[in-house]
Amino acid sequence: MPGHRTQPSPQAARQAGATRQRILAIARDLFARQGYTGTTIADIARRLGTTTAALYYHFSSKADILDSLLTEPLAAYTKLIDDATTARMPPRELLAAYIDFTAATRELIPVLAADPAVRSMLDQRLPRKPEEMSGAIIAALAGPRTGRAATIRAHAAFAAAKEATLAALRASDGHLTPRDRSEVLAAALRALSKDPAPQA
């Protein structure tokens, strides 16, 4: 029939999906190493072992690749903010969710930090500026009766959750073990607590 497009076989669809995932993994690594601006489609195709034309079959542009890398993490982060501000998550649950989010997106953190062009895309895609979104988590951790001391503790807990998670990931080749997760969560909760730390 004129205009009829043959559907790919299940095997072809699986192969195409696997190729897309390889492209995303290669692009994520190159973006982190060279920056988004410093990486070309040809760089990605060369690492993949294919032509730029073949790569364009899967993604229409470098921006399309970056958009695909960011879509799932941005949706997860937006949901985390919504849960923090509307569902009134208890601090333990909120910190645990943020630790898990940081661990899940660890490979994207260098990409986000390395290039102003990526930050600009983030600003366009996010419902609020990144600092406003992290501020929403801190405000939720501080609680409704926010005072200076509570806000300081919330900042400390937020920083502990993020930085300790990244430290644990570096120490274990990118894998957050259950024991390390528990240690990070405990440290963040201690930072949030208004009780003084026990004396040595």
Tens-digit pLDDT profile for residues 3-17 = 555 566 777 667 777
User: In this structure, what token pair is assigned to residue 95?
Assistant: 């910190």
Query: How many whole angstroms separate alpha carbon 110 and alpha carbon 35?
Result: 9
Nearest-10 Cα torsion for 55, 73, 166, 31: 30
pLDDT for 133 equals 86
Across residues 25-38, what is the average pLDDT?
Answer: 90
Tens-digit pLDDT profile for residues 67-115 = 999 888 888 988 999 888 886 789 999 999 999 999 998 888 878 776 7
Angle subtended by helix axes 91-104 and 178-192, to nearest 10: 130
pLDDT for 102 equals 94
Tens-digit pLDDT profile for residues 149-159 = 999 999 999 99
